[in-house]
Amino acid sequence: MLVLWVFLALSGYCAAAVNKPDPRPDPKVLSVHPFTVQRGTALTVTVRGSGLQGANGVFAGAAPFRIVAEGVEPEPKGEGNRKVPIDLVRMRVEVAADAKPGRYPFRLITSHGVSNAIPLFVSELPVTAEPEGSHDSPDTAVAVPSGPALFAGRLGHRGEADFYRFRAKAGETWTLQVISGLPQIAAGGSAATVPNFDPSLTIYEAGTSWFDSSRLKRVAYNDEPTWVAGKGTDAYLVHRFEQAGDYLLCVEAFAGQGGPDYSYQLKVVPGEKPEDLPPASRGTDDRAFTRVLGVDRLNELAARGGDAAKHSSVETYRAAAEPAGAAPLFKLPGTIEGTIERPGEIQRARFQLDGPRDIAIEVETPAAAPPYFNPVVRMLNAAGEEVATNVFAGKGACSGALTKSLQAKAIVPIREAGTYTMEVRDVTADFGGADFRYRVQVRPQIPHLGKILMDADHVNLAQGEATSIRVVFDREEGYQGGIAVAAEALPAGVQALVGADFEAEKDPPTFTGKRERYEPRTERTVVVLSAAKDAAPTPQPQVIRLVARPVSGGKLGPVLATKSIPLMVISGQ
């Protein structure tokens, strides 16, 4: 009995320890509703998140609006189905009349520091709030005016769908787009593991059945324009109506989710309009089909390796749809370019290699890119045998099944002199066109630093404590130099050190194929930020700057990557 009592006592102690709230929770914003405001107007919005008690300010940089926090209250129990307490912050947003439409991130300032960023949309169109009540049937559909319209809605519970009713003329084209307030990135995780809102749009025509006048006929549907790993999944649909009449538009989540964070912006505009996309991020990914392979490519890569040597320019040549023996010649380093205009077309070019050489093959698609245009590049020897390709074959981690993927870069050691042929085609024989343009650069390998990622969004640093920011970088083409990461513009009493962090060992893949040809060596380091015990708390975030440079031959190279991060020093009590 004594043993059982001790066990129960310890169990209760552990449960209390687990359920004890964090005395200094990191402020986290989950959503804001509504998240669209017309320029020149004011609106009260509600921010939903955790650790937002004591929210007393907003950090929005040079955004063209003014935000005032009006109050914080806990979310009533039973709403949202969250395991942690949820806070609701009411905010008054006033947007300048001359504000440029677009997305502007903002953060909340609390007694525990600064929160993560979440975007607020500024629109040139008036914003109409979704009327109160349910709109999940044609009878309760929201009326859409004939001109451009923008609605701020929300799918408040699982399985909910919102219907909108509008009238279109015969031959008229409309553009419809839904932007999610809880965005999902393709391949970023399933709805069961990652909170997300992948919206979909469906256009219905009502009353098309003689047997059932309420039956709906689906006219058009869109989940996202194209599913591409790493891209957003907002719905965008341009449709031309063949017949005049009343139509219904249904907004819902692709997987049927819903809840207080499932806000959306619905834009309905007559005519064909371009999709509203987030600003393009500037990266340093060596292995993206969209990066530019210019004439100064060798010097760009040499600088990324800390090498100041001057390399010659890369000349450009035209490939041709000719047999290997009649294909045009080019010299290394060289870029061959062409267009796969006809389905099944194969274009070729040849080069001469006088001796062993380590080369790199890079592929650029200046217009149409995967998954529309999928260029397969093969390098053949004089006997017509494949020496290298940009097709990476391996085995899936889960099933062990054979998988193949197209890569934008391959590094190849060539040990035999001779004439080699570069062959370019689409992965299928079904497609071609004027936008199936390609550039293939064949050059000597140049060791350098590739993609550099800094994982911090914000830093809240308590007095007398330390935190780390992980920096992940790629060693490309045998780069053996170092990387220097520095933190600039630190507040008084805060210092930065470079260190290492623990990383659990992973089981090696069962079948690696020729992985070294297609994947760089990835490593990481950490920047440790520490605050002195007497460091003064900062009432506002101070933007610090992380800077990464290569180190080669005992010298620092140019700045390759930077990231600005808001930091707050908070009380250690």
Check residue 534 and give its pLDDT: 95
pLDDT higher than 70, residue 1: no
* pLDDT for res 79: 59
Give the CA distances from residue 317 to residues 291, 350, 362, 437, in Å, rounded to whole numbers and listed in that order: 19, 10, 15, 14
- Per-residue pLDDT at 183: 72
Whole-angstrom distance, CA of residue 427 vs CA of residue 419: 25
Residues with Cβ within 8 Å of 220's Cβ and at least 6 positions away in sequence, in order, are: 202, 203, 237, 239
For each of the domains in the chain, give its residue range(s) and CATH number, in order of start. Answer: 28-123 (2.60.40.10), 130-270 (2.60.120.380), 297-446 (2.60.120.380), 450-570 (2.60.40.10)
Alpha helices in 204-267 (DSSP H): none
The band of 17, judged by pLDDT with boundaries at 50, 70 and 90, is very low
Rounded CA gap, 565 and 63, in Å?
16
Instruction: Check if the beta carbon of residue 474 is closer than 8 Å to that of residue 286.
Output: yes
Q: What is the pLDDT of residues 450-467, one digit of tens each?
A: 999 998 999 999 999 999
Query: Does 3 have pLDDT greater than 60?
Result: no
pLDDT digits (tens, 9 = 90+) for 99-118: 999 999 999 999 899 999 99
pLDDT in tens, 401-418: 778 899 999 999 999 999
- CA 226 to each of CA 58, 101, 223, 341, 481: distance values in angstroms, whole numbers, following the listed order: 36, 25, 8, 22, 40
Two tokens at 389? 């390709």
pLDDT at 82 over 80: no
478-514 pLDDT, tens per residue? 999 999 999 999 999 999 998 887 777 776 666 566 8
For the residues 146-162, what does the mean pLDDT come to? 93
Query: Side chain identity at 286, as an amino acid letter?
Result: D
For 139, which DSSP code?
G
pLDDT value at position 454? Answer: 94
Per-residue pLDDT tens digits for 53-68? 889 899 999 999 999 9
Q: Which residue has the higher pLDDT, 421 or 78?
A: 421
Q: How far apart are CA 524 and CA 517, in angstroms?
A: 21
Q: Given pLDDT bands bounded at 50, 70 and 90, which one contains residue 251?
A: very high
What pLDDT sits at residue 399? 66
Minimum mean pLDDT range among 22-26, 165-169, 489-493: 22-26
CA distance 18 to 470: 27
Please give the average per-residue pLDDT across 346-365, as a whole number: 96
- pLDDT score recorded for residue 242: 94
> What span, in angstroms and rounded, lies between the C-alpha atoms of 481 and 98?
49
Q: If DSSP codes are grouped into helix, strand and coil, which group holds residue 302? A: helix
- Confidence (pLDDT) at 14: 43
Q: Is 539 exposed, middle or buried (0-12, 13-18, 19+ CB in 10 A)?
A: exposed
Q: What percent of the chain has pLDDT over 90?
A: 74
287-315 tens-digit pLDDT: 899 999 999 999 999 999 999 878 999 99
Placement of tokens 């003014």 in the chain:
66
For position 499, what pLDDT does the model report? 84
pLDDT of 77 reads: 79
- Across the chain, mean pLDDT equals 89
